[in-house]
Amino acid sequence: MPRQSALLLGIIWGYLVWQASPCSGADWLVPSQIPTIQQAIDSALPGDQILVEPGTYQENINFLGKDVSLISTSGPAVTFIDGSALTQGTTLGSTVTFSSGETAAAIFSGFTVQGGNGTLLTDALGTYRRGGGIHVSAASPTIENCQLNNNSSDFGSGFYAQGTLSLTLQNLQIMNNSGLEGSGVYLIDCGIVSIEQCNISGNQAMTAGGAISINTCTQVNLRQNSLSANTALIGGGVYCRLSGLLLESNEVRSNEASLLGGGITLYQSTSTCIDSVFVANSANHGGGIGLDGGTLIIEKCLLTGNIATTAGAAVASTINLVSVEIHRSTLAFNSSPNGSPGVYYPPLSAGGAISTLVLSHSILWNPTGLEIDIPTLSQVDHSVVSSGYPGTAVLVSDPLFQNSAAENFSLDPASPCIDTGDSLLYTDPDGTPPDLGAYYFDQRPPALPPLTCQLVDPCGTTVSISWDVGTQIPDSLQLSVGTDLTQLVPLAALPGTASGYTFDPGSSGLMILCVEPVTGGLTPESGPTCCEIDIPVPTPQITILDLQCSYDPLSCTGELSWTNGTTYSNIELIVNGQSLSLPGSVNSANLPLTPGLPTTLQLIPQTGCGAILAAVECQLLCPIPEPRFIRGDANMDSILNVADVLFQLEHLHQSLPASCQDAIDCNDDGVLDISDPIFLLLFLFDNGLPPPAPALNCDTDPGPADSLDCLNGLNCP
């Protein structure tokens, strides 16, 4: 389809979508609904969302001043915008462009941007290409979760911004871009810019700012970034010129500058560096930080392993006037061949410019030369300076780091730097007098590992708590209890060696139990270790009531009934030592009995909390029933006939076994003889008298008693 036709269809489709939902904004799907990203932008209206499916898109896109959201559906690892085809023309080689006043509502998220070579512009600097990957001019878009890799340009090969009042770059990976200056990021004439949580590495600049170059900006904030393996002539990591700069919680590692500032170079700028590390950066001057005029405050930073081939391995300046303050920082194991591994200022210029250095509560432990190599006297107090220096409370002893080889510059418990600072100036977070260096020694005891809390009696409210105090035994342990972490009340104070405690709160419900070690009056930074336990409402301890036991004499079946004293989880029925589990809700049971065998029956209830209550029991004896038979039914087939006569004769004369002699005794005279079969024959065939009871129907012998047995009377129907 020709590009114009596709574009027209896209515009028509976008118009229809917008008409259908003018308030919520339309969704544009690329390429399933519209073939290219630029066509989607052309068709979209402010507030629309363009969703881009995985793939490589060979195009250079321009937001055209539209506050739309351009978002990949699957992230930068599988979604690429490649500007190498220069589809916008040879002078418009930026892969992504914001140049028409876009605001923070213009969102660009989830792409790898590559192949751009910048937009050709002419200004006071000359004619150069700007912004290979992303070009921002007088706009303030939101750019996040992207990778800007393998782009080239003169300024800002990865990212370029000019004239923006406010801008935030977040969660970007900017790698392997190359150009003249600011190959990762180039900022010029901007207002307030924040670069946060970005990884900027492997970028190469021919002049300044391998990772970032900042020129005449009001304030640039670099927070939680990693700047590594970038190279330039000056400012291997960062070059900042005539700007305000804040570096906070950054890692600046293994960057290289041929001349000045392997990590960063500051030119006539007002800069503050807080909680950052500079490791293994290198330059001719200022392996870690290089200054060419301006002011710098270093607070709680680590500079280690930085190298200067000439002077000033950690910090160095040119002959221009600088003011440097270093507070609560550690400069250790930096190196320079000329013996100035710490801070270096060159000799005074002919004009006699006087630069200043303030060093307080810091550690300079680079024991290969002169730590403070500057032509004027510095103001030094409460610091370690390995080569010595005039000042207040200046130490030259080994600070005793825990493991400097592993870049762990925390202080050993035996360090002379612990609690040796000025308490009027600082207090460490543990509440003790200040330690020296970037990392204080936390004298608070470690928090306990997780507690074990459980009910002692599942049907009561008594609770036991146990814990492991470990190898660092505290002075004491403080226990507290409550229903809310913010409203705990003291429960007990125990010796530091204690490992458990038991108490009864006397109530049910959710309870929070906490244990906190105390050493030297200090408690753990994280606070007490706590556990929660839900104490149930105690179950009434009432066993089974009113057990009634009886039996049916005909079936010899035991019949039990009772009243449940409370709600049970189950009831154990024990019959002569054999156990049977019944549901806790039943209140009756039937079971067969063995005739003539005494049977002991026990009911043992268990409550829902696991308590086993007292057993109740009874005994039943179902007697062996009297034999039931029909008089004359000798063969016990329940029919009187001639077969019975034959059975009688065989029993009398051939000793045929008989299970019921009373049935053979037809005349009930208590004697088995020939009269019995004759009596039966007369009854059957000659209208003789019927046999005495039990006659014709099964029943027991009404008596009188005789010596004849009936062992199988139960065969009667």
Residue 194 or residue 4, greater confidence: 194
| Residue 370 binned pLDDT confidence (cut-offs 50, 70, 90) | very high
How are beta strands 126-130 and 118-123 bridged, if at all? antiparallel
Mapped onto helix, strand or coil, the DSSP state of residue 715 is helix
| Residue 87 binned pLDDT confidence (cut-offs 50, 70, 90) | low
Residue 13 has pLDDT above 90, yes or no: no
Query: What is the per-residue pLDDT across 517-560, written as a single tens digit (0 to 9) for each?
Result: 999 999 999 999 999 999 888 777 889 999 999 998 878 899 99
In angstroms, the first-to-last Cα distance of the chain is 99
For residue 31, say if its preceding peptide bond is cis, omega within 30 degrees of 0: yes
Strand extents, DSSP E, 564-651: 568-575, 578-583, 588-592, 599-607, 616-620
d(CA 198, CA 174): 8
| Residue 435 binned pLDDT confidence (cut-offs 50, 70, 90) | very high
Burial of 168 (0-12, 13-18, 19+ CB in 10 A): middle
Query: What is the per-residue pLDDT across 276-290, written as a single tens digit (0 to 9) for each?
Result: 999 999 999 999 999
The rounded percent of the chain whose pLDDT value lies above 70 is: 95
For residue 694, say if its preceding peptide bond is cis, omega within 30 degrees of 0: yes
What is the residue extent of each domain of the chain? 460-525, 545-620, 642-715
Query: What is the per-residue pLDDT across 297-317, written as a single tens digit (0 to 9) for each?
Result: 999 999 999 999 999 999 999
d(CA 561, CA 585): 12
Mean pLDDT across the stretch 131-135?
Answer: 97
The rounded percent of the chain whose pLDDT value lies above 90 is: 73
Cα–Cα distances in Å, from 569 out to 539, 566, 578? 11, 10, 20
Number of H helices, E strands in the chain: 5, 61
The residues pairing with 79 across neighbouring beta strands, listed in sequence order, are 55
Q: By mean pLDDT, which of 66-80, 389-403, 622-636 is the weakest?
A: 622-636
Q: By mean pLDDT, which of 101-105, 366-370, 486-490, 625-629 is the weakest?
A: 625-629
Residue 5 has pLDDT above 50, yes or no: no
User: By C-alpha distance, which of 665, 663, 675, 670 is closest to 710?
Assistant: 663
Q: What is the CATH number of domain 460-525?
A: 2.60.40.10
Question: Which one-letter DSSP state was computed for residue 487?
Answer: G
The pLDDT, as a whole number, for residue 96 is: 97
Residue 188 has pLDDT above 70, yes or no: yes
Contacts of 26 (CB under 8 A, 6+ apart): 14, 17, 18, 20, 44, 45, 48, 49
The residues pairing with 654 across neighbouring beta strands, listed in sequence order, are none
Contacts of 22 (CB under 8 A, 6+ apart): none
Q: What is the CATH number of domain 545-620?
A: 2.60.40.10
The pLDDT, as a whole number, for residue 714 is: 52
Token pair belonging to 408: 């762990």
Ramachandran quadrant class, 202 (left: phi over 0; alpha: psi -120 to 50; beta: rest): left
d(CA 116, CA 174): 13
The pLDDT, as a whole number, for residue 515 is: 96
Fold equal for 460-525 and 545-620: yes
Averaged confidence pLDDT in the chain: 91
In the block, tokens 């500007």 appear at 83
Alpha-carbon radius of gyration of the chain: 49
Residue 713 has pLDDT above 60, yes or no: no
SS (H, E, C) 18-58: HHHCCCCCCEEEECCCCCCHHHHHHHCCCCCEEEECCEEEE
| Residue 19 binned pLDDT confidence (cut-offs 50, 70, 90) | very low
Write out the DSSP string of 118-155: EEEEEETTEEEEE-SSEEEES---EEEEEEEES-EEEE
Residue 564 near residue 589 (C-beta atoms within 8 A): no
Neighbours of 403 (CB within 10 A): 10
The residues pairing with 531 across neighbouring beta strands, listed in sequence order, are 513
The pLDDT, as a whole number, for residue 506 is: 85
Residue 350 near residue 325 (C-beta atoms within 8 A): no
The pLDDT, as a whole number, for residue 715 is: 57
| Torsional sign, CA 443, 444, 449, 455 | positive
For residue 458, say if its preceding peptide bond is cis, omega within 30 degrees of 0: no
Spacing of C-alpha 393 from chain mean position: 46
Residue 558 near residue 590 (C-beta atoms within 8 A): yes
In the block, tokens 């086993």 appear at 612
Mapped onto helix, strand or coil, the DSSP state of residue 238 is strand
d(CA 517, CA 521): 10
C-alpha neighbours within 13 Å on the C-beta side of residue 326: 32
d(CA 359, CA 364): 10
Residue 11 has pLDDT above 60, yes or no: no
Task: Phi first, then psi: give them for residue 52, nearest 5 degrees.
Answer: -110, 125
d(CA 205, CA 417): 41
The pLDDT, as a whole number, for residue 36 is: 97
Residue 84 near residue 150 (C-beta atoms within 8 A): no
